[in-house]
Chains A and B, each alone.
Chain A
Amino acid sequence: MTVDSTAGAPTTAPAHGSPADAGPPELVQLLTPEGERVDHPAYSLETTPEELRSIYRDLVLVRRFDSEATSLQRQGELGLWASLLGQEAAQVGSGRAMRPTDYAFPTYREHGVAWCKGVDPLNLLGMFRGVNHGGWDPNEKNFHLYTIVIGSQTLHATGYAMGITKDGADDAVIAYFGDGASSQGDVSEAFTFASVYQAPVVFFCQNNQWAISEPTEKQTRVPLYQRASGFGFPGVRVDGNDVLACLAVTRWALDHARTGQGPVLIEAFTYRMGAHTTSDDPTRYRIAEELESWKLKDPIERLKAYLVREGWADSAFLESVEAESEQLARRVREGVRTMPDPDPSSIFENVYAEGHALVDEEREGYLAYASSFVGAAAEITDGEDD
């Protein structure tokens, strides 16, 4: 191999086939950015005004809670926050498509899915505050822990889907992951397993165009949904900012899976409007115009426009949702500020089902040590060091 030592050239745009082109024929859409309801030959959706209002409410509440979490992090109340701003429709649409018994395996950004699964936002905040690991019961909520080692949950979802077919249930599973995660070997292996075992799993990829600082072009040269065909199952690209399309396509995919026809890959084409997390600064690597163009495709504005135009949402309704979202923000703000600190000896719990001699000994050592201090943990840990 020879080395090209030409220096100075910054990374340039990809030479060919930009997967960022969301060409119309590929993209399933039921609600245009202007709030126009359109039909799609393959994916129909019946909705009542009541249901649409309920979807709108979910979108607004999820966004409000998310922005409150970002503020709480800035105020030092959370260690970190991964905002879902811009991805509300992909999450609420797919989240609402699940039956209560369908199981979801999320990444760290699936706050909207958590909401649909009935996980209290305060659980999520406790985790990002560091005082617990989330604290919800995955078995009860049918919602697994946030997975932060990229891609591995797609395999857990596949195994879970294989497992439930043994029970004879007609439930299905959703594996959430990102455009960046699509490069992880685990994801390809999950595709292989799910396909070969006909597992009832839907792979729901939110292509928000960025993986920290790397644009989708750094991960793939073909549109992501097309990867499915190489594994022998259907792939669909849906407008990820269109909550109705996300709902319709995911519902179809879950039915496909639960009726024994195997997995489906959905690529929800969307945009990460915020930073990767609160410790990231996207101005280091992306241009402002991109963000501006996606603002015009806002998932909430388009549903609101549709509701208002049809006369299904009056100002009293919109104000009541607004008021409810402020109430939610207040509840999580107060909830976070009054969250109890964890009990120090809890760090020794649940390492093993039935204890372990060494861990037990370490716990006892700690307790003896702690009792030699009046102020306990604070004095022991004097986190001065670095």
Chain B
Amino acid sequence: MAQLTYRDAVRRGIAQEMRRDERVVLIGEDVAAAGGVFKTTPGLLEEFGPRRVLDAPISEQAILGAAMGAAMTGLRPIAEIMFSDFLAVCWDMVANEIAKTRYMTDGQVSLPLVIRTANGGGLRFGGQHSQSVENWAMAVPGLKVVLPATPADLIGLLAAAVRDPDPVLVLEPKALYPVRGEVPDGELLDTLGRARVLRTGGDATLVAVGAMVPRAVTAAERMAEQGVGCTVVDLRSLVPLDVRTLLDAVAGTGRLFTVEENPRLCGWGAEIASIVAEEAFPALRGPIVRITTPHIPLPSADTLEDLARPSVSRITDTVLKALG
């Protein structure tokens, strides 16, 4: 067991897969010589050499387009897009090409590739470097979308993503890069599409992903001090989605709160709310409540960014108010 930061876990996860399978290659801007602008990939160039760890020109379409072509030859590329906001620059590759290739070739062509990217706010980078794009991504049929919230989950889910036959987008919450967590020794391999129940309580179910997970947990701890018990579910993966765990958690409390970093309109919680309303309506004792960033571009001032993203206080106050 070791204590690793999330950023060190990224490096360990990539190295684990590159050691295991020489078809795994890493490509991205500033990932090789500099070890990544978020210092998530130091030492990989030295260990695996310039043919497997590639510094790319600033051409996101080419990074993903070439990852697709390389995957067709049997490689298992891990392509880094520095900030998830820049997925917009290469969305054609994500939405039109990579995600649809299996379907349009009648299953003949697999694209076992991984797109890793730093997602979300918390670093005061403003509206074009802080977006939470999980809601863009989960709307694309053919693409899998995971958001590991701890160092151990990152390693296990990244490994699962690398070994998966379909393209997987791994969204790394950049606010969590410096956060430490326990990581077991040895190889880690997780399963895509399994949520985790982090604590249980009888009054409300909080569902979160990514950087909102630790906030939901802290909010639940605070509410517990006031005698309100919360179940907290970390979905970990939006596509595929662990509906079973979600419905069980809602059945146990009768109240559902989603904690979402994405802007409100069509955030992932809207889909969760829809599923729960359809499948578990009788279990609900009150309205489903979504706690989200407003429908605005993210500001860069610290006070404003803190105001926009769901905070522990906002989560706590919203839940307590709704429970009445």
Contact = CB atoms under 8 A, between A and B. Distances in A.
A and B are partners in one complex rather than unrelated chains: yes
A380 B307 CA distance: 7
B157 interface: no
Contacts of B73: 1
Interface string B302-321: 11101110011110010000
A125 to B, nearest CB: 13
A1 B55 CA distance: 19
Contact of B294 (A151, A181, A183, A348): A348
A377 B303 contact: yes
A185 B61 contact: yes
A290 interface: no
Contacts, number: 175
A259 interface: no
A3 B22 CA distance: 7
Contacts of B60: 184
Interface stretch (A16-24, A112-120, A339-347): A339-347
Given A130-B300, A131-B301, A356-B295, A6 B37 contact: no
B48 A348 contact: no
Interface stretch (A40-48, A60-68, A213-221): A213-221
A32 to B, nearest CB: 33
A362 B294 contact: yes
Contacts of B314: 369, 380
A159 interface: no
Interface string B61-91: 1100000001001110000000001101100
Interface in A222-256: none
A347 B58 contact: no
Interface in A121-176: 129-131, 148-152
A9 interface: yes
Interface size class of A (residues with CB under 8 A): 35 or more
B119 to A, nearest CB: 14
B273 interface: no
Interface residues of B, number: 67
Given A9-B49, A359-B294, A342 B211 contact: no
Interface stretch (B121-129, B198-206, B234-242, B246-254): B121-129
B59 A184 contact: yes
Interface of B: 22-23, 25, 29-30, 32-35, 37, 45-52, 55-62, 70, 73-75, 85-86, 88-89, 122, 124, 126, 128-129, 175-176, 178-179, 211, 214-215, 218, 264-265, 294-297, 299-304, 306-308, 311-314, 317
Interface of A: 1, 3-12, 79, 129-131, 148-152, 180-181, 183-186, 211-214, 218-219, 280, 284-285, 341-342, 344, 346-348, 351, 356, 358-359, 362, 366, 369, 377-386
